[in-house]
Structure formats: structure tokens, C-alpha cells
Amino acid sequence: MYINGSLLLNGSSGESRLKGQSFAVFRILVVCLLTLLILATFVWNFLVLVTILRVKTFHRVPHNLVASMAVSDVMVAALVMPLSLVNELFGRRWRLGRVLCHIWISFDVLCCTASIWNVTAIALDRFWSITRHLEYTLDTRKRISNVLIALTWALSAVIAFSPLFGWGEAYSAATQNCQVSQEPSYTIFSTCGAFYLPLSVVLFVYWKIYKAAKFRIGSRKRNVVVPMPEILQVKEASHQPQMECAVRHAALTFQADGEAWRQQKEKKAAVMVGILIGVFVLCWIPFFITELISSLCSCDIPPTWKSIFVWLGYSNSFFNPLIYTAFNKNYNNAFRCLFIKQR
């Protein structure tokens, strides 16, 4: 019995040792993956900012909206994600003090909310440029985009800094916990202002873009070019009819090419906005659903799942510049020129 008991004890300790080693290897892999995500997010968004600053053709709308989005995503990578990784390494226990906790949470909410609203602003800009391309001139776009950027950062600041004035508490010294204020009223305000309201806007915008694109394609199919009778009249000893026919044919060809170019541009913009919105929803909706549910019904969400949902939301800052630049040849050419000059 003693020998069997010893064997059983040694066997169980061996299994626990193997499990501990496997967990340690898995943890190292996760830390390496998150570190790469932080570096890639910072470098890619910083590269977008440098490109916009160095290329003069980008010093206009809608690139100021892209620059605003890149600034918020760079701040997520530089100020938010590293401290979140430190918190994960300490077993989700905050050991950096109350002041730094409040600073981290404030910038977390500020930068992530600004990133979400910048996506919304870009979707609105694409929507107006497609549906109102005649009235939505460059000067109008510049004024509206500046207003959208100002509203984005102002609303994000209100949501982020409200807890500093007594609307809940982010730090708990007893449990060494640092998280967004769980005050139910603040949770409803912050989740609606930071996610559910912009989600409603972008879904409505993309639905309108889809309807507009579908209507234009249908109207083009119904269009028929009817030759004008006066152009076909032939006059003796005159080459004027041939000239008129040639000029009219050139005008019709030019209009057809212009319509095809605009149709291709609208289709490309619609695809880009659709992918941008789709990735935004997939990255952030798990976090905001659990955030709202856990605060209102006092449900216990496993800490591991909370971490997964938080980092999935952070990853949206990595995908944003990839999606936007992938559908813009000007950025790809500017990136090549930037690397060639550096060599």
C-alpha cells in the first residue's frame, strides 16, 4: 500500500509538472504574440502618419480622417496595450498604484473610443462622397471632416474622464484590480457612447451605401443612348455633319468612361467601408456585450475570456490601417517611395 501510494503520488506530481511546463510554454507564446501585436500596431500606424505628413497630396481630406484614426491607434499601441500586457503578466493584478491605474484606464477609454468614432467618421465621409458627390465638394469635405474629428475627440474625452470626477472607481486596493468603472449608470453611458451609438451609425450608413450602389447599377442598366436626328442630317458639299458626329461620339465616349470610372470608385469605396465596419464589429462586439452584461446583472465572466475580448478589441487598431491602405494605391506607392528613399 505504501509503495502503491508513493507511485501514485509521484505519478500525479509528474503529471502536474508536465502540465505546469506546458502552461509556461503556452504563456510565453501568448506573451510573444501580444508583444508582436503591439509592435506591429505601432509601426504600421506610425508609418501611415509619416506617409501623410511627408506626401503633400495627402494634406487634404479624407486623409485628415485617416490621420486622426492613425493617431488614436498609435496611442492605443503606445500607451494602452503595453500596460495591459504588464497587467496580464502579473496575473491580472494591478501592482502599479492607484494614480497610474486611473491614467491607464482613462487613456484606454479615450483612445479606443476615438478609434471607433474615427471609423464611423470615415464611413460617413465615404457615404456622403458617394451619395452627394456633386454637393460634397472638397471645401465642404474639409469643413465637415474637421467638425467630425473635433466631435470624435471631444466625445471620447467626456466618456474617458468622467470617472475621474466621481462617476465610479477604477482601482481596488483590496483586490489589486484596475478596470473601467463598473457603476451601472456609467457602464450604460460609456458602452452606448463608445460602441452601440457608432455601431448603429455605421450599420445605417453601409445600408444606405448598398442601396445607393444598387439603385445606380439598376438605373445604368435602364439607360439607352438615342442618337439625335439632327446629327444624322447630311448637307451637300459640307463636312460639318462628320465633324459633329465625331464630336458627339467623343462626348458620349467620355461620359461613358467617366461613369464607368465613378462606378468602379464607388464599388471600391463600398467594399472598403464594408470590410472596415465588419472587422470593427467582430473585434469589439464581444467585449462590449460582456461589459454591459457583467455590470448590469452582476454576472461573473471568467477572467481569461475577459482578457481575450479586450485584446480582440485592441487588435482592431492593427487592422484599421491595413484595411484602409490595402484599398488605396496612393498609399502603396507612397510606402514604396518612402522605403526607397530610406535606402
The pLDDT tens digits of the residues spanning 271-303 come to 777 888 889 999 999 999 998 888 777 677 888
Q: What is the pLDDT of residue 198?
A: 94
Cβ neighbors of 287 (< 8 A, separation 6 or more) are 309, 310, 312, 313
Amino acid at 333: N
Asked if the bond preceding 241 is cis, omega within 30° of 0, the reply is no
Q: What is the pLDDT of residue 226?
A: 45
Helix (H) or strand (E) holding 306: helix 303-314
CATH number, domain of 73, equals 1.20.1070.10
Q: Flag whether 20 is in a domain.
A: no
45 is in which domain, residue-wise?
Answer: 25-219+261-341
Q: What is the pLDDT of residue 224?
A: 45
Q: Are 62 and 122 in contact (CB under 8 A)?
A: yes
Q: Flag whether 67 is in a domain.
A: yes
Q: Flag whether 226 is in a domain.
A: no
Q: Flag whether 5 is in a domain.
A: no
Q: Flag whether 249 is in a domain.
A: no
Q: What is the pLDDT of residue 174?
A: 84
Concatenating the DSSP letter of every residue in 94-115 gives --S-HHHHHHHHHHHHHHHHHH
**For residue 308, what is its C-alpha cell?**
481575450
Q: What is the pLDDT of residue 244?
A: 44
pLDDT, tens digit (0-9, with 9 covering 90-100), for 243-260: 444 444 444 444 445 555
Q: Flag whether 3 is in a domain.
A: no
Cα angle value 58/64/70 (rounded, 5°)? 100
Helix (H) or strand (E) holding 308: helix 303-314
Residue appearing with cell numbers 439632327: 230
Task: Tell me the residue length of the chain.
Answer: 343
**For residue 169, what is its C-alpha cell?**
472607481
- For 163-182, letters b (16+ CB in 10 Å) and e give beeeebebbeeeebebbbbb
Q: Flag whether 48 is in a domain.
A: yes
Q: Are 195 and 109 in contact (CB under 8 A)?
A: no
Query: How many independent structural domains does the chain possess?
Result: 1
Q: Flag whether 4 is in a domain.
A: no
Of residues 84, 75, 85, the one with CA closest to residue 317: 75
Beta bridge partners of residue 201, listed in sequence order: none
Low-confidence ranges of the chain (pLDDT < 70): 1-21, 23, 62, 213-266, 269, 298, 338-343
Q: Are 187 and 106 in contact (CB under 8 A)?
A: no
